A and B are shown apart, each in its own frame.
Chain A
Amino acid sequence: MKHQLSFVLIAFTLGLFACNETDNTNEEAVTGNAKIIVSIFNDGDPLELETRTYTNDAGNEYTVSEFKFYLSNVKLRNTSTGDLFIEPDSYHLVERSPESHVYEIEITNVPLATYNELEFAIGVDNAQNYSLDNIGALDPSNNMAWDWNTGYKFLLLEGRFTTQNQEQAGVVMHIGGDSNYRRLIMPLNQPVTVNSSNSTNFLIDVEVSQIFKDPTTIDFNENNVVMFDAISTKLSANYAKNAFTLRSVEN
Chain B
Amino acid sequence: MSDFLQRLGILFIFSALLIACDSTEEPSVSFPTAFDLEAEVPFYFGSNFEIPEDNPMTVEGIALGRMLFYEKKLSGDNSMSCGTCHQQSKAFTDGERFSKGIDGSLGRFNAMSLTNLLWNQKFFWNGRSTSLEEQALIPIEDPIEMHQSLDAAVAKLQNTPEYPEMFKKAFGDEIITAENIGKAIAQFERTLISSNSKYDQFLKGEYTPTALEQRGIDLFFTHPIAQAGLRGGNCGDCHTNVLTSGDLNGFNGFHNNGLDEDATLRDGLKTVTGKDADKGKFKAPTLRNIALTAPYMHDGRFNTLEEVLEHYDQHIRTSNTLDPLIIEASNEIRSPGDPVKLFLTPDEKEAIIAFMNMLTDEEFITNPKFSDPFKN
Interface 1/0 per residue, B221-236 and A, CB below 8 Å: 1010101101000001
Q: Is the CB of A7 within 8 A of B10?
A: yes
Contact with A along B242-271 (1 / 0, CB 8 A): 110101111111000000000000000000
Interface size on A, residues (CB 8 A): 49
Residues of B within 8 A of A37 (CB): none
User: Does A66 touch B at the CB level, under 8 Å?
Assistant: yes
User: Which of B124-132, B146-154, B175-183, B317-325 lies at the binding interface?
Assistant: B317-325
Question: Does chain B have a CB within 8 A of A141?
Answer: yes
- The smallest beta-carbon distance between A65 and chain B, in angstroms, is 7
Which residues of chain A (155-184) have a CB below 8 Å from chain B?
A: 158-160, 163-165, 167-172, 174
Contacts of B43 in A (CB 8 A): 133
Interface flags, A197-239, vs B, CB<8A=1, else 0: 0000000000000000000000000001101110000000000
Of the residues B223, B273, B275, contact of A227 by C-beta under 8 Å? B223
Beta-carbon contact of B225 and A229 below 8 Å: yes
Is the beta-carbon distance between B13 and A170 smaller than 8 angstroms? no
Indicate if the CB atoms of B227 and A229 lie closer than 8 Å. yes
B127 → A minimal CB distance (Å): 12
**Given contacts A50-B277, A66-B252, A171-B324, is CB(A165)–CB(B336) below 8 Å?**
yes
For the complex, is A15 an interface residue (Cβ under 8 Å from B)?
yes
Q: Is A147 an interface residue (CB 8 A)?
A: yes
In the bound complex, what is the Cα–Cα distance between A136 and B324 (angstroms)? 27
Give, as a whole number of angstroms, the nearest-CB distance from B329 to chain A. Answer: 9
The answer on a CB contact under 8 Å between A140 and B46 is: yes
| In the complex, A8 has a CB within 8 A of chain B | yes
A225–B334 alpha-carbon span in the complex (Å): 12
A167–B324 touching, CB < 8 Å: no
- Contact residues of B between 100 and 143, Cβ < 8 Å to A: 119
Q: Is the Cβ of A4 less than 8 Å from the Cβ of B225?
A: no
Q: Judging by beta carbons under 8 Å apart, are B240 and A18 in contact?
A: no
Considering the complex, give the chain B residue whose CB is closest to the CB of A49: B277
Q: Which of A1, A14, A158, A171 has the most CB of B within 10 A?
A: A158
Pick from A14, A143, A224, A227: contact of B241, CB under 8 Å:
A143
Closest A residue to B43 by CB, please name it. A133
Whether, in the assembled complex, A51 has its beta carbon less than 8 Å from a beta carbon of chain B, the answer is: yes
Q: How far is the CB of A117 from chain B (nearest CB, A)?
A: 32
Whether A159 contacts B242 by the Cβ 8 Å rule is: no
The reply on B52 being an interface residue by CB < 8 A is no
